[in-house]
Structure 1
Amino acid sequence: MTPDQTCFKVKIDDSMFEFGETMVTGHQLLTIAHKHPLDEHIIYQKLKDGQFEEIRLEESVDLSQPGLERFKTFRSAESYRFTVDGRKFEWGAPVITGRRLKKFADVAPDTYDVWMNVRGKGEDQIISNREEVRLDTPGLERFYTEQVSITIIINGRPHEINKRSLSFTELVQLAFPNVQPAPNTIHTIVFKNGPEENPQGSLVEGQTIIISERMIINVTKTDKS
């Protein structure tokens, strides 16, 4: 590439690559990413609205548009379709995590839950960030997101929380919202009725706990002097 040539950067999976031309094919993208044999791989482009669109080997992509173009590859001959919040998406693997579903929905993973609509009379299933759900079962899988809303009890008073974890500092602020931090004050936090990750115990400064509905947390403060 000569010094006066324009360089177009793309991100394929987790790696960055450069092209000296505005139009590149799916074949070129898979080749530069060393995805061989080419006919055993598929590549998706992440669109501006968060959806992923398959790019065929002979299909061209324009790299001159504003912003970094992002792509995802899979070693697969199939793609799997599903919906999140009523929008249709495609994925190149038979399983997908809750965190990836939230990325498709463009919601914050810590403040939103994602649910799988269970066909028939079964109850809908919540999918945690690290949990994998299969997309290759018969029928179209449907997912939806909802903002987290958890009521916990801090020092005997209910608090509605819109995320699934709280830090030591956040709990202190919730317990004593109008009290300024003081160097001579020591806070102690104990909890019970928590989720299986941390059912009961104590919390020290710098730590974070997972919260659950009607979890009981007591925060006390003492003066070192």
Structure 2
Amino acid sequence: MEKYKLNGKKYQSENSKINGIKILENAGLIPVEEYELLLKINQKGFEPVQLDEVIDLKSPGIEGFVAKPYKVLDIYVDDIKIEVDECFKTPDEILTMAGKNPEKYFLKQLKGEIEIGYKNDRDHKVAIKNEAKFISCELDDKNITIIVNGTPHEVQKGNISYTAVVTLAFPDFPQHPERTYSVTYKRGHGNKPEGILSPGGVVKVKDGMSFKVKHTGQS
């Protein structure tokens, strides 16, 4: 597998030789005719790549590719048309363009009968296609979703205790106080996104926060 970058995002190709069509298709930029593809070669700047042109990813000096729409693309958020001149946007950027506060809303993409939610994936780079449709969804003001040992749980905003987290992972924990567990978390608040939750302690939760609870033996 050969690796390459398009607009700063990493992709893979089964072969070292790949044409412009495949590069754009791999990134979900379809129809490919609506995008300009450029090859970044160190010290030489950018060179245009034709759709049927074959590039050898093993060639020296290749730093990656850049794609951009030939014209402004129209997307719809809540049936309101928005003009976009970039190939990729994060869900929060799309919400902001639609005049929605990302702290109060999350984004869903509509693909036919399929809905793709970005509630817990705010940094995802969404490939912008002409006529793409999105909807904004209001976040629950009282409850958020956290992940405990891979299972989502809805909890109230604010702080959560060590006991509450362990009980979500092991419901019989209150009946067995002699058991001890280690609790770690990720994707927490910005000032401390990762850490350890010790017995008797509490931590402020946020939507999408992940906890891992592991039995450590008897005290």
Task: State TM-score, norm by structure 2.
Answer: 0.38
Larger radius of gyration: 1
